[in-house]
């Protein structure tokens, strides 16, 4: 693991790191904030998955999470959203290819070799973080924005008991039922829609997957709400499954980091309550 940069912030250390990923076959960059702590202490960790076009830098520079993480003693990890590099295939559109990994393991060419973000987030990066940082792997939470909210929901639903807490900001709740998701899942996984269901939060809940509780914030002025995010589908799925969920519609907020940073403190406090029990 290579240290690209470190800086002091709120009594902790914000770092950016790079490593050679076996899973993606590329170098991968990620950000980690570690609050100051007693020698030998193991801290709970909150994973943050970013949205379309983003890297680790978007939330690191605009998410305003460090003060709350320092207050609650939580390590904050922000991975990239896709493999990068000159040899990595790409698409001209912003919603497919680099910056749009959708947290799936691709099966279709030319994407299958490098676009394995599910395995990277579920397996490889957690092992590296646990080896290099003072984290308690028994106290993990996960959150994310938009495409990253989709990633947080589906990863947590597929791995029962692994995450003590799950939240999301304006998530894509049913990729099988929106243009972003149909393009991504079709392109990465092929035409057989049965393989798509493992990457659709609403489908997973309908199939019996459950979370102990869930927090979602969604802005009412989000221009993607009706066509891409479709929050009501998640609300309906949770109600039908009798799965506890706080799905909060925030009046006047859009899809930007102005929205995310407004409610970041509340999400971190919500995670801390569950991670520090």
* Residues assigned a catalytic role: 146, 222, 255
Q: Are 65 and 72 contacting, i.e. CB atoms less than 8 angstroms apart? A: no
Token pair recorded at residue 129: 């973080």
Q: Are 203 and 253 contacting, i.e. CB atoms less than 8 angstroms apart? A: no
* DSSP three-state, residue 64: coil
CA-to-CA distance for 180 and 192, rounded, in angstroms? 17
DSSP secondary structure letter of residue 227: I
CA distance between the termini of the chain: 32
Helices (H), the chain: 56-62, 66-72, 117-119, 125-132, 147-158, 179-189, 201-206, 231-241, 257-275
């Amino acid at each position: 693991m290579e240290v690209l940069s470190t800086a002091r912030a709120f009594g902790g250390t914000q770092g950016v790191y790079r490593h050679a990923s076996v899973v993606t076959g590329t170098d991968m960059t990620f950000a980690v904030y570690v609050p100051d702590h007693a020698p030998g202490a193991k801290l709970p960790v909150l994973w943050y998955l970013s949205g379309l076009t983003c890297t680790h830098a978007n939330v690191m520079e605009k998410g305003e999470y460090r003060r709350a993480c320092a207050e609650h003693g939580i390590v904050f990890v922000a991975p990239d959203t896709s493999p990068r590099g000159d040899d990595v295939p790409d698409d001209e559109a912003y919603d497919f290819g680099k910056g749009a990994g959708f947290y799936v393991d691709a099966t279709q060419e030319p994407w299958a070799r490098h676009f394995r973000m599910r395995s990277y987030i579920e397996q490889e990066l957690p092992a590296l973080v646990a080896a290099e940082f003072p984290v308690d792997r028994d106290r993990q939470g996960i959150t994310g924005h938009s495409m990253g909210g989709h990633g947080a929901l589906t990863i947590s639903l597929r791995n029962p008991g692994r995450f003590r807490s799950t939240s999301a900001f304006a998530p894509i709740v049913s990729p099988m039922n929106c243009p972003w998701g149909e393009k991504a899942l079709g392109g990465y996984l092929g035409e057989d829609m049965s393989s798509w269901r493992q990457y659709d939060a609403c489908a997973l809940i309908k199939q019996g997957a459950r979370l102990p509780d869930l927090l979602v914030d969604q802005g009412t002025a989000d221009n993607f709400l009706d066509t891409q995010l479709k929050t009501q589908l998640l609300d309906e799925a949770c109600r039908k499954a009798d799965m506890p969920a706080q799905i909060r519609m925030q009046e006047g907020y859009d899809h930007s980091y102005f929205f995310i940073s407004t409610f970041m403190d509340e999400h971190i406090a919500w995670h801390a309550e569950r991670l520090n029990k």
